[in-house]
Chain A
Amino acid sequence: MSDVDITSKTMDGMGPHGTKVGLLRVLGPAHVWALGVGIVLVGEYMGWNFAVGKGGAYAALIACWFAGILYSCVAMIDSEVTSTVASAGGQYTQAKHIVGPLMAFNVGLYLVFAYTMLEAANAITAGYLFSVVASMSGYAGELDQRPFIILVIMLLAWLNYRGVLATLTFNLVITAIAFNAIIILFLSTSGILGGGIMEHAALMEEHELPYGWIGVLAAMHFGLWYYLGIEGTTQAAEEVRSPARALPFGTLAGIMTLLIAATLTWYVCSGVLPWEYLGDGVSGSVAPLFDTARLSGSTGLIWLLGFGTLFATLASANGCINDASRAWFAMWRDKYLPGWFGAVHPKHRTPYRAIVFLIPIALIFALGAPLDQVITFSILSGLLGYTFMPLNIILFRRKWPLDTIKRGYEHPFHPVPAITLLTLCGVTFFAVFLGYGTQLVAMIGFYILVSLLFHFWRYRFVNRGAQFTMPWPKPRGY
């Protein structure tokens, strides 16, 4: 330990247990908010409206609020656990400490798949947006979207490679613009500022629930889009200045922001666009907020929501690169996967090999896979991750009761949020099964296969002693 000098100006990052170069603690609560909301907000700009197609406008609102309850439980549970697990990897690291290595391996893969697929989907969407801009500005031919997809992934990966502070400050700015665009659209079209254009009563008359309550259930699948990714705030745990304060604050502020944004989005779009058009996200309304702005007739709103859509897409892709690389890095660092990739850049202080490794994978999915399949695999991986959380918090409270580890945040009414979350996950699995049963079965089959591989082969390489270096007391009963 003689080479350890924690006050060194030239070798910042050195610490006990052999760390010579570590991730940089430079982020605050606003960056945590920007990471969580930035990943999600694109779901308000496009995608959620498939829920309208499944069950009508009211079904989409019910799904929005039930999914809101699901994600509020996720945010509360995550905030409590991660305020004590101040380490990269988020739910993977939580699972490693609280449940065990096999669960950690699976949760780590859920995270990497969910974020990398979402990154690829965002890049595809950005390519599409550039083609829309081209056609709106008078370009007559068919624009090749592939260079724009590559451009988005490469530039954002480069930004992530160069440092986390610039990456998430960029996310903070563009996410704030995209969120404010929704607020301004609401104020401008609802009649609060100027004349309103809302026609809820006329548009919904005799179309309240066109497919009955089964439509409401089916809409839950796409209800997740309003909030999918807010749990990504935990990936910043090793890079925030004060994890116990910043992570719960940023995460809970994030879910409140999204509850407001989701409800306003539904209100604005369902009051202007007919439900048949709104619910068809392929040949109908691809970007409902932007379409609403176009129907308002205001050039300023069209520009604002156009940039809002693009910024939300970029913020999501940017946050996904950040989160996927941290989850991957944490798994490599513990030798759950080859340890060579678990390196930190000594100057930029980022998991640079993990970031570069994921570039070609994202490009393959973005250039070679259809958008709906990519997004469905992302949603399914996320949903499997949410199903683990109730088990996680119940074991956490049992093994480390409130008086054994000081939490930065203690979520109320335990175990009600855990039971609620588990119930809503079950409902959503059924909803996904109704529309994408084959993909669901294929995905679960894949995770069973890799679990067997991990158990019978890979676990022998895991760095069993060195993977637990946090100063936690022994769990109760051990």
Chain B
Amino acid sequence: MGAFCAVWPDILIDWLTTDSRYSEDVLTSSREGELEAMAEERKIEGAHHV
């Protein structure tokens, strides 16, 4: 039960802190394929610099 007492408050406090610090719009803004598109843009941008 020691692990439960140590780990659960850590998760709970972090969750509450995060939810109060950031807006729902930011936290739930993730969309599928976003990072893939982003990686491609990075690649193209890198090619311009070369």
Q: Determine the chain B residues whose CB is within 8 A of the CB of A353 once the complex forms.
A: 15
CA distance A224 to B18 in the complex (A): 41
A23 touches B30 (CB 8 A): yes
Across the interface, do B31 and A18 meet the contact criterion of CB distance under 8 Å? yes
> A339 in the interface, Cβ–Cβ < 8 Å?
yes
A151 touching B4 in the complex, CB below 8 Å, given contacts A16-B38, A86-B36, A469-B34:
yes
Pairwise interchain contact A22-B34, C-beta atoms closer than 8 A: yes
Answer yes or no: B47 CB below 8 A from chain A CBs.
no
Note all chain A residues with C-beta closer than 8 A to B7: 154-155, 157-158
Query: Would you give the shortest CB distance from B17 to chain A, in whole angstroms?
Result: 10
- A19 neighbours in B (Cβ, 8 Å): 29-31, 34-35
Establish whether residues A469 and B33, one from each chain, have CB atoms under 8 Å apart when the complex forms.
yes
Point out the residues of chain A lying under 8 angstroms from B45, CB to CB: 6-7
Whether the pair B27, A86 counts as a contact (CB closer than 8 A) is no
Q: Cα distance A16–B4 when bound, in Å?
A: 40
Contact residues of B: prevailing secondary structure: helix
With A and B bound together, what is the CA distance between A155 and B5 in angstroms?
Answer: 11
Bound-state CA distance A86–B34 (Å) is 9
Cα A346 to Cα B28 in complex, Å, equals 10
| Binary contact track B24-50/A, C-beta < 8 Å → 1, others 0 | 111111111111111101100100000
Q: Roughly how many angstroms separate A330 CA and B8 CA in the complex, as a whole number?
A: 24
Given A147-B1, A151-B4, A340-B24, the answer on whether A18 and B29 have CB atoms closer than 8 Å is yes
Cβ–Cβ contact B27 & A343, under 8 A = yes
Given A7-B45, A352-B18, verify A16-B27 contact (CB < 8 Å): no
Contact residues on A (Cβ < 8 Å of other chain), bracket: 35 or more
Question: Which of chain A's residues 336-371 have a Cβ closer than 8 Å to chain B?
Answer: 339-340, 342-347, 352-353, 356
With A6-B41, A352-B18: A21-B33 Cβ-Cβ less than 8 Å: no
Instruction: Report yes or no: A23 in contact with B3, Cβ–Cβ below 8 A.
Output: no
For residue A392, CB closer than 8 A to chain B, the reply is no
Contact A21 B27 (CB under 8 A): yes
Known: A16-B38, A356-B15. A21 touches B32 (CB 8 A): no
B35 near A238 with CB under 8 A, answer yes
Whether A471 sits at the interface, judged by CB under 8 Å, is yes
Residues of A within 8 A of B39 (CB): 25
Contacts of A86 in B (CB 8 A): 33, 35-36
A150 CA to B8 CA, complexed, in Å: 11
Residue A226 at the chain B interface, CB threshold 8 Å? no
The 0/1 profile, CB within 8 Å of B marked 1, for residues 139-169 of chain A is 0000000010011001101100100000000
Can you list 13 contacts pairing A with B, beta carbon distance less than 8 Å? Answer: A19-B30, A22-B35, A87-B32, A93-B32, A150-B4, A155-B3, A155-B7, A339-B28, A343-B24, A345-B27, A346-B26, A352-B15, A470-B32
